[in-house]
A and B are shown apart, each in its own frame.
Chain A
Amino acid sequence: VGFAALCCLALWLAAVCPARGEAEEVQDAPLLYRAILEELRPGAAVSKILPLSDYLPSLKGSGMDTPVYILEAGFSQNDTTPSFNFDDKKPSAAMPTVLIIGGTHEDEIAGVLAAILFIEHAVPVRGRLIVVPRLNASAAGTADPERPGPHHIVISGASGERYFRYGSRYTDPNYEIEADPIRFYPPGARAGAGLSSREFRNINRNYPGDEAGSLTARTARAIMNLIARENVRVAFDLHEAGPSSGLAWAVIAHPKTIDYAAMAILDLGDKGLNMVLDLSREEHRGLSHREWGERTEASAYLIETLNPGQVPGGLPAFDHVNNAISPLWKRIGYHVETVLAILGIHAEMDEPSGWIGIDSMPGINELKANLAAYF
């Protein structure tokens, strides 16, 4: 038993602390996948866990393959996998689905934890929920050298202490197959809209992705394929923003459903939760809310809460859980409440009425009263 425990520990350490610069590490990449699996305690509604590489086989075995959790209850899943081509904008025959993604940027930890909360507590009573809690698996296992946070977040949960790795905004270069360019131009970006070189490894500048591109671009492409294949009607990308960005406490919505976001913001306001609306624009080419909204049938939303640790130089000793200005319960609570508010509007306004319903999620008041009870 002791030997097995040591082996498990070694596997975890290998997964979350890869030595840099050695080519053979790519062969160890599935350990990242396993580390994410071991981090979560899936709830009763999780019917299936798939690798993201099911949606783009060339990711298999790479450091970017990551678990995809399917949650459903009360419905039998469509057994056939319809053919798809998202450029046709034809929804598949699969059950209407909501997609929630955390960990596009693995240092935006409240988005990761909110996604995990959905996996562990949500019960879809109508429709289906797909959650990718740590989209950038390689970034989950490394720190951002320019903006490091704490190694992990500790929550003394109902079932003991739990450790959640605080990662990086960017794909770990040790797991990327292409070198950073001098300047990176997101797909579809207008001339002159180049970004700094490491944005090449930012998934949220790489949509709609490229099946033959970098692993970061392939990951973005796999999400586009997932949205098309799984009949995703509403898709959320959960993020956080630093104090100086001006983006915190905001919903960025694609124009086709900006009124839905506005209605949800009003509903949140009625509960005393203040979010600002922002519009997904042409200048946002390469970002999830723009490309999901433009290229698929899905309604696309990106949610931002305030992460006070996201400052230049980083704050490795920052206490995310108990910070007075933006404590973790508040950040996770805003994500959860905003997702549920937007879904409430879709359930009310879309056809058929009430197509999506999610029960059993703790609200912000419950998380404020006892965050640990839900982990």
Chain B
Amino acid sequence: VDVALFVTCLTDTFAPRVGVAVVRLLRHYGCTIHFPPDQTCCGQPAYNNGFHEEAAEMGRRLIDVFDGFEYVVTPSGSCASMVIHHLPDLLAGDRAYGERARQLAARTWEFSMFLTDVLRVDVSSIAADPARAVTFHYSCHNRGLQSTEQASALVRGLKEVDYRPLDHLDQCCGFGGAFSALYPNISNAMVCDKVNAIARTGASVVVSNEAGCTMTMQGTARRHGLNVAFKHVAEVLAEALGLMGDWP
């Protein structure tokens, strides 16, 4: 299976280990990975903030960069939903790119959906570390993609996992892109509720598949002295399979 990795700008810049884990895991399951070097951003920040012409321009660029790959996989639900849901709408009237946007949308997958729905990976034989309790936060874009079940199943379904469900799982972590910079006080109230819920689980690892959520929750947990590790599900799985040996 030929897969182009769309690593996304946040993961590229702030969480490169997630990109490495995705590559190794997909390879483990028989994929051939490509990384088009000209990739940058999908245009989501521009789109969400109403700069739609700019977002369309970014979208056209993205379509050119990922032209011709059988699958495009991204570790971010929000970037996936930008490509899958918004780009085709945004470029619907574009004669050169409208149809190509729809094609790219059909070929693009959020990582956990790709693993469960396309590759049909069964994680029940992969052993988690039973000594480290795990909780899971799904990103709001997992909900938009209808992939909350897939994403959490990859954690809940591990062998011997000590899984601690999070209270009020459906509540946003408070990131929301520019929202957290424009209304930092509302955002903070939201993320404090989330971090308190994490603390109540007693888990030492939080699985979060969206770099934005992770930065927000981890930055707040640090500020309040809560010592928990934050990991992408790709890191959890790659570690359990012994694929991250050279990278603690």
* Same assembly: no
Binding site for A on B (CB under 8 A): none
Residues of chain A touching chain B, judged by Cβ–Cβ distance below 8 Å, are none
